[in-house]
Amino acid sequence: MAILSNLSFLSAFLALACFAAADFNRDAEITWGDGRGKILDGGRGLSLSLDQYSGSGFQSRNEHLFGRFDMQLKLVPGNSAGTVTTFFLSSQGAGHDEIDFEFLGNSSGNPYTVHTNVYSQGKGDKEQQFHLWFDPTAAFHTYSIVWNPNRIIFLVDNSPIRVFNNHAGAGVAFPATQAMRVYCSLWNADDWATQGGRVKTDWTKAPFTAYYRNFKIDSCAAGTSCASQELDAKARNRLRWVQQKHMVYNYCADSNRFPQGTSVECKRSRF
């Protein structure tokens, strides 16, 4: 399919056509924040706010097992230190699965950190972090998760930044059996989010607000074409460029956290 070719005019056209049908009134519900989450423009957009009393969040109305999940975000501008804006998938209960995009704020003039992680059966510790090649607060950009039985692909503006392949056969847990909802939130995490918690939230800048729009889910099931989505040559080259130029943390290379070595997926990665 053309949707994973980051330079494909056809894929961009199709994505925009699909985005036009997004409706937060239909597809999502605000779940917490006591009025700090607001649906805008008749369902075409949504804002989340954070102040010293509470953050806010919403979730998709339905659960899905595999699919492509797109969201456009415009992040908190200026001094966003201590704040975390999220877009992630998660199941519920003990031994949950989760696929994370978390955007860690920073002091003015410093870049956001895009934090990614994959949990399976309640265990994560698979973090990779990136700095973006644009200002994510100046305009909306599209963040996507492709999740199928073979792999998970994280994309930014249709460019892949990370691939997590299914190595369940080699003993690496992979989220493949639990349906997940989409969750998004804006909350305070100044005990760890910015420079390991050294920079705290400046509440004189509150309320902090992030904007979401063009929520799109293409759900699929095992055995459909979704299961065979691959990266083409251009997308693989783009992935290597992002990881070489913009990755700032990779759990696979962290010998302090993992003195016995990391899991087999690090050794078997094709990227």
What is the per-residue pLDDT for 225? 58
Check whether 201 has a pLDDT greater than 90: yes
- In the sheet that holds 181-188, the strands lie side by side as 28-32, 56-60, 181-188, 83-90, 98-104, 113-119, 128-130, 247-250
pLDDT digits (tens, 9 = 90+) for 97-149: 999 999 999 998 899 999 999 999 999 999 999 999 999 999 999 999 999 99
Catalytic residue (choose from 29, 63, 98, 230): 98
Neighbours of 196 (CB within 10 A): 8
Residues 6 or more apart from 90 whose CB is under 8 A from it?
96, 97, 98, 99, 119, 180, 181, 183
In the chain, where are the structural domains located? 2-6+23-268
**Beta bridge partner(s), residue 8:** none
Of residues 24 and 263, which shows the higher confidence score? 24
Check whether 18 has a pLDDT greater than 50: no
Q: Which fold has domain 2-6+23-268?
A: Jelly Rolls (2.60.120)
Neighbours of 149 (CB within 10 A): 19
Q: Is the dihedral of CA 34, 47, 23, 2 positive or negative?
A: negative
Q: Which residue has the tokens 């693989």?
A: 236
Of the CA atoms within 13 Å of residue 15, those in its CB half-sphere come to 25
Q: Which residues of 40-52 are buried (b: 16+ CB within 10 A; e: fewer)?
A: eeebbbbbbbbbe
pLDDT digits (tens, 9 = 90+) for 220-262: 754 555 656 778 999 999 999 999 999 999 999 998 998 877 6
Q: Can 29 be counted among the known catalytic residues?
A: no
Q: Which phi and psi (to 5°) does residue 104 adopt?
A: -90, 120
**Beta bridge partner(s), residue 72:** 142, 213
Q: Can 98 be counted among the known catalytic residues?
A: yes
State both tokens at 165: 């392949």
Catalytic residue (choose from 29, 63, 102, 230): 102
Cβ–Cβ < 8 Å for 82, 213:
no
Residues 6 or more apart from 220 whose CB is under 8 A from it?
66, 67, 68, 148, 226, 227
pLDDT digits (tens, 9 = 90+) for 57-98: 999 999 999 999 999 999 999 999 999 999 999 999 889 999
